Amino acid sequence: MKLKEIKNNAKKYIELCKLLYTDSRTPKTTKILLWIAIGYALSPIDLIPDFIPVIGYLDDIVIVPVLLYIAIKSVPKDVYIENYVKILNK
């Protein structure tokens, strides 16, 4: 994938997470997982400090996407599809 495609896909998934969060049909566990993912990404505290070469940033690259994946998988399929179609139509 090209860098531009990755950037565009990331923007779409951020918008999707926003829509899922504001949707009243989204379970509370999903909303909590989304908050944890955002908090971990923005937090200066990491499981592995960033000053350790390569491994320090690896936890950010792995943990945040895994949390987002679990959050999105916990959304009912019809809610996910409806919000995903909204993002694609923009």
- Structure confidence at residue 1 (pLDDT): 59
- Structure confidence at residue 73 (pLDDT): 94
Where the chain has pLDDT below 70, the residues are 1
Q: Has this prediction a pTM greater than 0.95?
A: no
- Structure confidence at residue 58 (pLDDT): 79
Q: How many CB atoms lie within 10 A of CB 32?
A: 12
Query: In the structure encoding, which two tokens stand for residue 51, read together?
Result: 């000053």
- Structure confidence at residue 46 (pLDDT): 73
- Structure confidence at residue 2 (pLDDT): 82
